[in-house]
Amino acid sequence: MTQMLKARAGKITEEMEMVALQEGYTPEFIRAGVACGKIVIPKNKNRQRSKICGIGSGLDVKVNGLMGTSGDRDDMAMEVKKLHIIEEAGAHGFMDLSMGADIDAMRTLSLEQSNIAAGCVPVYQACKEAAEKRGLMVNMTSDDLFAVVEKQCQAGMDFMAVHSALNMDVLKILKKTGRIADVVSRGGSLLTGWMFHNDKENPLYAEFDRLLEILKATDTVLSIGDAIRPGANADSLDQVHLRGLMVAGELTKRALEAGVQVMVEGPGHVPINHIASAMLLQKRLCFDVPYYILGFLATDVAPGYDNITGAIGGAFAGMHGADFLCYLTPAEHLGLPNEEDVRIGVETTRIAANCANVLKRGGNAWNRDLAMSRARVGRNQEDQVKNAINQANLIAAFAAQNPSDGCVVCEDTRCPADVAAEFFGIA
């Protein structure tokens, strides 16, 4: 049985108890959230790991990182390093997006070397293998695609981005209306090419029940991929964006009815004034299941700084109900990220998530912010380091300061906090 079906049967699992302890809720609160689909717990039956997280309504916003080989950089050792950085920097999950020479070997390493939730995108491997075995990606069969889905589930993937919300109806609307950036999703573009070449419906939509049965067998969380997400701010909330969201809602309902844990991927490029509406529509149309945000990129003119752009949009999204933020690195739109890009991406996205999490007064993030404020006033460096997102940077900064009883910022002058404390009798 999946976590959802166990929850509906009234059973509180070990994973639900772990999430309850982390989040400061009762196990019954978590069970009820999982039962109705507002909370997911990514944990494949075939994978053993100790770090469990919950994603969804009422819980802290979580952070996801990306890694994986490619034809341009097929270095598995580097990707393992990135994976370690993703986990050490505090991400709650990662996605292996490998398209290198040996995807299976990279996935095996990813699962062995990590202790956080692992995700993947099966259409990448299916299309690559079809090109190798059948000459062209468009020669891929439905059975080829579902065989990869099953292989990756059985290997232990905890969640899986599947581009089922792309169908012929959505593509016809796109052809009629047009947009600045038609399809920016890699999986979406692969399937679009396959569908038009073969003049057939997307197998992941047409055979959705088959997909659900495979996911259900290992309790792999379905992440409905946003194949038609806006790739430019000008395309946000256009007809295609909204139609794709409606299809995602249809499929979400079917997944919930089948007892399959499900979340929905959200759009990438969304201006700030659209974020609240985008969140409201997703939650309303998709039955309040968790929303996994690919961004939001709040402006299109900051190449090299898209980690900041995404953090601005991600913080707004978290404030309006986003549950899972996928990181963006400074290399977004420029090239493949290196190890330092990955670290910056995770830490910047954690800042965005924390901005949303502190709104839950009395929660973990609020208490941590409060502890940091008190440590600053008390010039307690140890507690400042303890509560910092990037502890190494703060340790280095303190080490570079000249030892002094005074505040390094105020130099020889008295700290304003100390002066004020004398007047308020709290010195």
Residue-number span of the structural domain to which 139 is assigned: 61-357
Q: Are 325 and 297 in contact (CB under 8 A)?
A: no
Question: What average pLDDT score do residues 164-176 get?
Answer: 97
- Whether 326 and 378 map to the same domain: the answer is no
Q: Which residues make beta-bridge pairs with 264?
A: 224, 291
Q: According to the model, what pLDDT value does residue 300 have? A: 96
Question: How do strand 324-326 and strand 291-293 relate by DSSP bridges?
Answer: parallel
| Shared domain check, 270 and 142 | yes
Q: Taking residues 10-20, report their average pLDDT.
A: 98
Same domain, 403 and 350: no
Q: Do 71 and 200 belong to one domain?
A: yes
**Entry pTM:** 0.95
Residue 10: exposure state from Cβ atoms within 10 A (0-12, 13-18, ≥19): exposed
pLDDT digits (tens, 9 = 90+) for 246-305: 999 999 999 999 999 999 999 999 999 999 999 999 999 999 999 999 989 999 999 999
* pLDDT of the residue at 312: 97
Flag whether 281 is in a domain: yes
Average pLDDT for residues 85-107, to the nearest whole number? 97
Tokens read off for 270: 């969304």
H-helix segments, 183-238: 186-198, 203-206, 208-218
Instruction: Give the pLDDT of residue 139.
Output: 98
Q: Is residue 123 part of a domain?
A: yes
In a domain, 169, yes or no: yes
Domain stops at, among 340, 357, 374 = 357
Tens-digit pLDDT profile for residues 351-385? 999 999 999 988 999 999 999 999 988 889 999 99
- Whichever domain contains 335, its CATH number is 3.20.20.540
Give the separation between CA 273 and CA 43, rounded to whole angstroms. Answer: 35
Same structural domain, 375 and 267: no
251 and 371 both lie in a single domain: no
Do 71 and 166 fall within a single domain? yes
Count of structural domains within the chain: 2
Query: What confidence category does residue 214 fall into, taking pLDDT thresholds of 50, 70 and 90?
Result: very high
Does some domain include residue 56? Answer: no
At 303-315, the pLDDT tens digits run: 999 999 999 999 9
Residue that finishes a domain, picked among 338, 357, 376: 357
Claim to verify: residue 351 and residue 371 sit in the same structural domain: no
Domain shared by 109 and 154, yes or no: yes
Across the chain, mean pLDDT equals 95
Across residues 89-116, what is the average pLDDT? 98
Q: What pLDDT, on the 0 to 100 scale, is given for residue 419?
A: 75
Segment 55-88, tens digit of pLDDT? 999 999 999 999 999 999 999 999 999 999 999 9
Are 204 and 338 part of one and the same domain?
Answer: yes
The DSSP output letter for 234 is: G
Does residue 421 have a pLDDT over 80?
no
**Element (DSSP H or E) covering residue 324:** strand 324-326
pLDDT score for 420: 72
**Rg value, the chain, Cα:** 23
In a domain, 29, yes or no: no
Same domain, residue pair 345 and 410 = no
Please identify, among 357, 376, 395, the residue that sits at the C-terminal boundary of a domain.
357
Q: Does 36 reside within a domain?
A: no
Check pLDDT > 60 for residue 403.
Answer: no
Q: Which of the two residues, 416 and 132, has the higher pLDDT score? A: 132
Could you tell me if 368 and 306 lie in one domain? no
